[in-house]
Amino acid sequence: MTDCTVYYNPACSKCRALLVLLQERGIAARLVDYLRTPPSAQELADLVRRLGDAAPQLLRRDDSDYAGLGWGEREPAAADVAAALQRFPQLLQRPVVVRGERAVVARPPELALDLF
């Protein structure tokens, strides 16, 4: 049984650091390579719900696809975040750790420890 789910990109150094951190603490994780297996609309909606007011942190704002969404400086609503990630999975900020009803964008990776 896993203790948490990690949405990650294996090419990302922050993701690799998080996996080492979890392993060192004996925390089992279900890994989801979000680029190979994009989360469903329901999974994205659940992720956004778990993050609450922090949902906009899920978006990689330095990506050209983000600029194309036309939001300018305004913070997107939760529904907008989920819709953008469904359309552009590469916009997902990584790594994201989910445990129970809570989630965190683990940048830096040590932020994930708040869930345990």
Q: What is the pLDDT of residue 99?
A: 95
Judge if the upstream peptide bond of residue 109 is cis by omega within 30 degrees of 0. Answer: no
Structure pTM?
A: 0.90
How many Å apart are CA 73 and CA 27, to the nearest integer?
Answer: 38
Q: Where are the domains positioned within the chain?
A: 4-115
Tell me the mean pLDDT in the region 89-112.
95
As its CATH architecture, domain 4-115 has 3-Layer(aba) Sandwich (3.40)
Tell me the mean pLDDT in the region 27-41.
94
Q: How many CA atoms lie within 13 A of 36 on its CB side?
A: 8
How many Å apart are CA 51 and CA 29, to the nearest integer?
Answer: 19
If you average pLDDT over every residue of the chain, what do you get?
Answer: 92
Angle at 115 between CA 92 and CA 111, to 5 degrees: 60
Catalytic residues: 12
